[in-house]
Amino acid sequence: MQSAELRPYLLAGLALASLGLASCATKLSRNECQSMDWRIVGYEDGAAGYPGSQIGAHRKACGEYGVTPDFDAYQAGRAEGLREFCTAANGYRIGAAGGEYAGACPVEREENFLRAFSEGHELYVLRSRVDSTGNQLSGKRRELERLQTGVTDNAAVAIDPATTKEARVAAVADTAKLAERIGRVKTEIRSGEEELARLERELDDYLATHSPVVSSR
């Protein structure tokens, strides 16, 4: 996956980072702002992969107390944090977990990070497809059980001597509808099983040909 293809994830990550920062910023007190070690704040932001614009929210949160972030200390700390964040192993981990990337890594570190992020994200997509299809298949099987139970219940009503003629006719008519639906659901289940098997093969093939990225290259 190239950088241009990753752009939707980058934009989504930026939005999430901004929202997360706004949430944290509202919780800062006067004492917190006044005693803040901006190098540590920068390090934590960098290690979390937040974009450089994050300091703007800190500035806004502490501005009402007349406190201005130490930009140099913050940037120095953030650079240290980014060295921890912008590794191939971390990019793979984030991608495989379905995480987002906010475009925080410097150019010299971003290529390897994005390559590994792409590999991890591909694995995440394959696993998600398997899980989604498996869940849909389970839902169809549960529906089939309910339909078959309905047929059994209708049969009991139809043979019960106490059942009125009208109720017996209704039970027979409902059974016909259920039988029609059962046929469709069985077809859908067969298709779902075939699709799940195909997706599981794709996942197995990927796992067999791609090793997890664990180095810090």
Domain definitions of the chain by residue range = 3-85, 125-209
Higher pLDDT, 23 or 171: 171
Q: CATH 1.10.287: does it fit domain 125-209?
A: yes
Distance, CA of 99 to CA of 97 (rounded, Å): 5
pTM summary value: 0.76
Question: Is 70 exceeded by the pLDDT of residue 27?
Answer: no
On the question of pLDDT at 215 being above 90, the answer is no
Query: Does the pLDDT at position 167 exceed 80?
Result: yes
DSSP 46-104: HHTT--TTHHHHHHHHHHTTT----HHHHHHHHHHHHHHHSSHHHHHHHHHTT----S-
Q: If you average pLDDT over every residue of the chain, what do you get?
A: 88
Total H helices, total E strands in the chain: 8, 0
What pLDDT does 128 receive? 98
pLDDT average, residue stretch 102-107: 93
String of DSSP letters for 111-130 = HHHHHHHHHHHHHHHHHHHH
Average pLDDT rounded to a whole number, residues 100-104: 92
Match 């996956």 to its residue by tokens: 1
pLDDT digits (tens, 9 = 90+) for 69-80: 999 999 999 999
Predicted confidence at residue 217, as pLDDT, reads: 55
Based on its alpha-carbon atoms, the radius of gyration of the chain, rounded to whole angstroms, reads 28
pLDDT of residue 214: 82
Residue 122 has pLDDT above 90, yes or no: yes
**In whole angstroms, what is the distance from residue 129 CA to residue 115 CA?**
21
Place of tokens 């990550």: 13
pLDDT at 143 over 60: yes
The three-class DSSP label of residue 175 is helix
Q: What is the mean pLDDT of residues 195-217?
A: 91
Distance, CA of 195 to CA of 199 (rounded, Å):
6
Alpha-carbon distance of 74 to 50, in angstroms, equals 13
